[in-house]
Structure 1
Amino acid sequence: MKKRSRLGKGFIVIAFWVLDVAILMFTLAQVRDFAGIINDSGVVRGGTQRVVKMELAGQPAPSTEQRVTSLLEKLAENEENRLYKGPETYEFMDNLAAVDSQWKLIEDEIDALHRGEGSAERLLDLSETHFTLADAMVLSAQKRAERDFLVTGAICTVLFLTAATIMLFMRNDRISKLKTAYFTDPLTKRKNMLAFEEQGQQLVSSAPGGTYLVAYTNVLNFRYINETYGYESGDKLILTLARLLDNACRRDELAAHGNADHFVLLLRNDPQRIEKLHGHIEAKLRATPDLHFTGILSFGCGVCEVEQPSDSIPLLVSNAIAVMKESPDKEGISRYDQVFRNAVELKNRIEQHEDEALANREFQLYLQPKNRLADGALAGAEALVRWNSPKLGFLPPDSFIPLFEKNGFIVQLDFYMLKRVCQTYPMTVPGTGEALVVSMNFSRVTIMREGFIERLLHVVDSARIPHEAIEVEVTESAFVMDEDAVINKLETLKAMGFRLAMDDFGTGYSSLNLLRKLPIDVLKIDRGFLSENTDPSRSRSVLKGVLDMAGDLGLVTVCEGVETEEQASMLRELGCPVAQGYVFSKPLPEGEFRTRYGL
């Protein structure tokens, strides 16, 4: 329909231009015609005077007389055939008729003179009267030409201005529609990011610093909704969010659709403003009858305060995105504040120093003992890393391991720590002479790297360490991306004599299913089973079930995070053979570990 409307307006403009050109061509033809009429009228006037003059001189001029007569007949015929006769035309025709009548009188008087009956004085009087009438005829012809030219020119001007005006309106309408489309999100039909940046910058620039904050929202499980319920349901959720957020914004606040399930907001930085809006939107989503999946929805956002009127909206949005992505609490509100800035700065400094730290052996090997619960004897150890940096200070693993897993440096660190473990041998279990089994947790990134097994073999075999002395630990997260590929690699390591352990059992999404498939030797129970925040009787029952199941599968069970004698006593009663935790020892530097256990 819109396309037809644009075509209709275009045809109207073309019609105006065609009509304008046609009238202009007609005007030019009229000008030429009027010029001929004026010229012929002048010839009639002058020719008549010549005929009279020659006749009075005794030299008749029959050719001129015939010329005047033919011109008068031509003029009369043209006027009679004219389609439109206005007042000026009728005036000219009256003057033409008077001139023609006077000319006939002159012709009659000339014939009388030729017969000897006429009078020269009468002929002269008739000539003077004819001149006056002919002069009036010429003036009326000029008057008509001027009037028609002005009218035609006015009509052409009006048509031209009308066509130009329509074109201008069409152009402005087109620009307006393009601008609207440029600033409108195609799905929600509301503001897009470009509109948000332009309008948001105007609001921020005209307000004192601290007046506004920028929020970037995220819907958890949105991908799951698309894949499970279909993209139509995902679109319906986005449209619902767009409506809710728009309605929740005040007059001087903005909401716009960014991409996918993300929206951007410019809100007043009033106390609890973002917290109230967050709760309001979550409540409205849960109460929306058309959304059958609201029970699995969570709504989170990153927030960045506008500190100065000159702050850039794109930079503020980027900051809000950064804090949302980096925050461990994806469901809540994360603020781009000084704490986050400090964390980002530390992250950048860590990445700047990682290679230097590895070269300078700043990553230190710590060992935490695993002890038999029956008698407290040493049963093994877990290799842990600590970073003692002259520039950054002493850093615990959780401050750099997640970052290294993201940037890939974890591969170098994992194999560096494997070499350090191999360099600690020979270490034997006191009283047995057997090599002490040391477990190492390899990142999923490292395990999935091409050539992982070959490189591990090279390090261990170069140090002449028996394969059974190295226990490879993997967490359930290692199986998320490509479960079959990880299992195949573990089966290969198992065949080569390495011990395998599943770490943090009970924290993943499919522990029991994995147990059925994995070729592991050791099951390490996560410390969460011993948490004080859980019901002791229920935790005891779950632990009992896990220990019995592990025993049936022929697995050695190690319980992590044992910190009190009460916990250790309960685990003994339940039949757990090995434990690891502060009740026995905190992680120790290699030298201190050797000294303590006489290795």
Structure 2
Amino acid sequence: MVPRNPKLLIIDDCEIDDKSLYINLTEYWKKLIYKRVSSISEFLAALYDSSWDAIIAEYSLPQFDALNALDLLKRSGKEIPFFIYSKNTDENNALAAIRHGACDYLYKGCSFRLVFALERELKLIDLKRKQRQTESQFFHLAYYDELTGLPKYKLFCEKASEVLSNRSAQGKIAAVYSIKIDQLPTVGNSRGYNIADALIKQFVYRLSVHTGRNCLLTRLEGGRFTFLNGEVNTLDEVQIFASQILKLGSMPFMIENLEFYISLNIAITIYPDDGSDIEVLLTNSESTLAVNKGSWKNSYQFYTKEVSEISLRRTLLSASLRRALEKNEFVLYYQPIIDVKSGQITGVETLVRWDHPEFGLLQPDKFIPLADETSLIVEIGKWVLQEACKQARSWQDAGGEPISIAVNTSAIELGQSPYLNYITEVLKKERFDPALLELEITESVLMRDADTSIKVLRELKQMGIKIAIDNFGIGFTSLNCLKKYPIDILKMDRSLTNDMTTSADSLSIVNAIVGLAKNLGILVLAKGIETQEQLDLLTKMNCNKVQGFIFSEPVTSEKLLSFIKLRKTGTFT
């Protein structure tokens, strides 16, 4: 913006000319800020003591001239419009001044032309300033994370390459830490993304204390960060720093008068052993996080050759996963669900396996995470639902009585608008009773978008479909929170029932869940039952249903059919 009252520095030794100029300029700018100097020392003092919008100079003074002033201005590095307003009418002097960097050369007495020239240059300076600001903003948006102010991936890699080059020249190591905040999605979904953003900023502030010339930090996405430490010299120091990061994360985060706790997963690669450049080091540390996903929390792991092999296998699986549906490589297994009182099969849980031509029969944990990452989980989910309904109908047609089938539902499926329509089409096509279909949803799916989840679940309930919470007890959902969800069944995670025969605390927790769920009108199913002692305890608690190896491992549809035909006897051996 062009200043309404510009600050002008005048170089002249004639008070009369000075006063005349001041009078003429104040007719245009009422509150002009104005200072006159007449020597080199006065000019330098004024130049560095204050900021000026323009400099107006007489061409030649006894001790000083405009060309000297222009030289001094250039050395200062300041960008200030410089005008010569002089009695000297020599055209050669005017040409020399312009070549030297003056904006204009004007003759004294033509104050209106000086005003015009000043206005022109001030507007030009303002335009350049705005352009620089815009360029700076674009640069910042392109190279820095908007939330945290950290350098983005490209800039981080450029700076990291310099650090690694210096470490290589010194014959020293460096460490790359890939850091993931585990609970961030849950915090965002349950408390709001403003809280999650505040948590990220606090975490970054704690980590930033350790950044410096040879230590860099970047945010990749969400709650994932990379820290390059170019100040470690031994593996012991690498591990000590990893422990320091874990300690920073273990301290509570105070946000809006609430305490939040997080756990961190950290994967570490060492330069130059695990990679010769930053991108290879990052790839290997990220592979370590991906390979160990869900198997460790609040700890750190080093990259190993085994991780590299597993990562390669994941890559191969991911590529062949896209062809698996077309080649009909997926198969369904079924684990019986038993009514505790009658001992009869009342339903089955549907479990998908991948009969891979090279790696053999793969369990879900080997490929479902990959399907989630590539969104193929939607197509696999559709196939599982249709095949399960078709199989259940065929059991009925073969003489078995109707039983329920439980099918897992992913967060991606639940969030898609065509999901309900697809279920309706499958039920109609396979002539399958909606009341016999149970959709299993994990706690994390519920917490991801509570409002959307409630809306979709209610619509499913209106169709007659039953809703089950799978692996209950390992997440953040409270029984009190479940009151707002249209839930029919709680499937207790095996981690709750494993220890109840040896731990009084575990037994009390299971007993409390069964009792409170019943008060809410929710059926309880205990998973992973392997011993008669566990079954006896659950029977005393009046737990509704159980499943586990004590009755049957997951079996093929052919083997399950013989079980279904024995339903009325309550015998399965």
* TM-score, normalised via structure 2 length: 0.65
Residues in 1 aligned to 2:553 and 2:260: alpha-carbon distance in whole angstroms: 42
Counterpart residue number, 1:256: 216
Match of 1:202 in 2: 165
| Letter of the structure 1 residue corresponding to residue 347 of structure 2 | G
Greater helix share, structure number: 1
| Corresponding residue to 1:476 among 443, 457, 460 | 443
- Tell me which of 388, 395, 398 is aligned to 1:427: 395
Aligned AA (1:254): N
In the other structure, the counterpart of 2:269 is: 304
Confirm whether residue 242 of structure 1 aligns to residue 208 of structure 2: yes
* Alignment correspondent of 2:318: 351
1:270 pairs, out of 234, 252, 273, with: 234
Check conservation: 1:278, 1:299, Cα contact below 8 A.
no
* Farther off after superposition, 487-496 or 364-373: 487-496
Amino acid at match of 2:266: C
Map Cα deviations across residues 142-166 of structure 1 (whole Å, 9 max, x no partner).
xxxxxxxxxx9xx99xx98997698
CA distance in 1 between counterparts of 2:252 and 2:560 reads 60
Distance 1:189 1:397 in 2: 37
Distance across 1 between alignment mates of 2:278 and 2:163: 7
8 Å CA contact retained: 2:440, 2:469: yes
Q: Deviations over 1:25-69 (max 9, x none)?
A: x9xxxxxxxxxxxxxxxxxxxxxxxxxxxxxxxxxxxxxxxxxxx
> In the TM superposition, what are the counterparts of 1:67-216 in structure 2 within 5 Å?
167=74, 170=77, 193=156, 196-206=159-169, 211-216=173-178
Determine the C-alpha separation between the residues in 1 that align with 2:509 and 2:421. 39
Pick the aligned partner of 2:508 from 496, 516, 541. Answer: 541
In structure 2, the residue matched to 1:409 is 376
Q: 1:254-291: per-residue Cα shift (whole Å, max 9, x none)?
A: 21232498462234462332221223455578799999
- In 1, the alpha carbon distance for the partners of 2:362 and 2:462 equals 37
8 Å CA contact retained: 1:245, 1:281? no
Change in CA separation of 1:539 and 1:495 when aligned onto 2, cut-off 3 Å: same
- The SS at the match of 1:473 is strand
Equivalent residue number for residue 562 of structure 1: 529
| Structure-2 separation of matches of 1:488 and 1:520 | 12
What residue number does 2:33 align with?
none
- How do 1:514-593 and structure 2 match up within 5 A? 514-532=481-499, 536-593=503-560
Instruction: Say yes or no: does 1:463 pair with 2:433.
Output: no
- Structure 2 unpaired stretches of 5+: 1-8, 10-43, 79-138, 567-573
In structure 2, the residue matched to 1:502 is: 469
Q: Equivalent residue for 2:131? A: none
Shift of 1:587: 0.3
Q: CA deviation at 1:314?
A: 4.2
SS at match of 1:213: strand
Q: Note closer, same or farther for the CA distance 1:411–1:598 as it changes in structure 2 (3 Å cut).
A: same
Secondary structure, counterpart of 2:234 in structure 1? coil
Query: Is contact 1:200-1:313 (8 Å) kept?
Result: no
Native 8 Å contact 1:368 1:383 kept in 2? yes
Letter in 2 for 1:440: V
Task: Please state whether the residue corresponding to 1:504 is helix, strand or coil.
Answer: strand
Aligned residue pairs: how many?
A: 449
Deviates more, 1:452-461 or 1:192-201: 192-201
Work out whether residues 379 and 429 of structure 1, in 8 Å CA contact, stay in contact via their aligned partners in 2.
no
| CA distance in structure 1 between the partners assigned to 2:372 and 2:560 by the alignment | 28
Q: Separation in 2 of the partners of 1:518 and 1:442?
A: 16
Change (3 A) 1:389 1:241: closer
Deviation of residue 585 (structure 1)? 0.7
Structure 2: which amino acid aligns with 1:415? Answer: K
What letter is aligned with 1:278? A
- 1:486 is aligned to 453
Distance 1:458 1:407 in 2: 25
Change (3 A) 1:313 1:161: farther
Look up the match of 2:47: 8
- Distance in 1, matches of 2:457 and 2:202, equals 44
Corresponding residue SS for 1:512: coil
CA deviations 1:461-502 (Å, max 9, x no partner) are: 111122222222222222223323322322223222323322
Change (3 A) 1:234 1:586: closer
Q: Distance in 1 between matches of 2:275 and 2:446?
A: 48
Cα root mean square deviation, aligned:
4.7
- Superimposed CA distance per residue, residues 535-593 of structure 1 (whole angstroms, 9 cap, x where no aligned partner): 62222222223223333444432211101111112112222232100111110111222
Which residue does 2:281 correspond to in 1? 316
Provide the secondary structure at the position in 2 that maps to 1:523: strand
Equivalent in the alignment of 1:385: 352
Instruction: Identify if the C-alpha distance between structure 1 residues 6 and 297 changes in structure 2 by more than 3 Å, giving closer, same or farther.
Output: farther
Secondary structure in structure 1 of the residue aligned to 2:445: helix
TM-score, scaled to structure 1: 0.62
Q: 1:506·1:526 contact (CA, 8 Å) conserved in 2?
A: yes
Alpha-carbon spacing, 1:161–1:282, altered in 2? closer, same or farther (3 Å): farther
Does the 8 Å CA contact 1:419/1:459 hold for their aligned counterparts? yes
Question: Aligned pair in 2 of structure 1 residues 428, 572: CA closer, same or farther (>3 Å)?
Answer: farther
Distance 1:512 1:341 in 2: 42
- Bigger Cα Rg: 1
SS state at 1:359 partner: coil
Give a deviation string over 1:182-205, Cα, whole Å, max 9, x none.
Answer: 999998999983774253132243
Which secondary structure does the structure 2 equivalent of 1:427 belong to? Answer: helix
**Identity level (%):** 22
Specify whether residues 563 and 199 from structure 1 end up closer, same or farther in structure 2 by C-alpha distance, changes over 3 A only: same
Q: 2 CA distance for matches of 1:405 and 1:595? A: 34
SS at match of 1:489: helix
Q: What is the rounded CA distance, in whole Å, between the counterparts of 2:402 and 2:195 in structure 1?
A: 51
Report if aligned partners of 1:242, 1:257 keep a CA contact under 8 Å in 2: yes
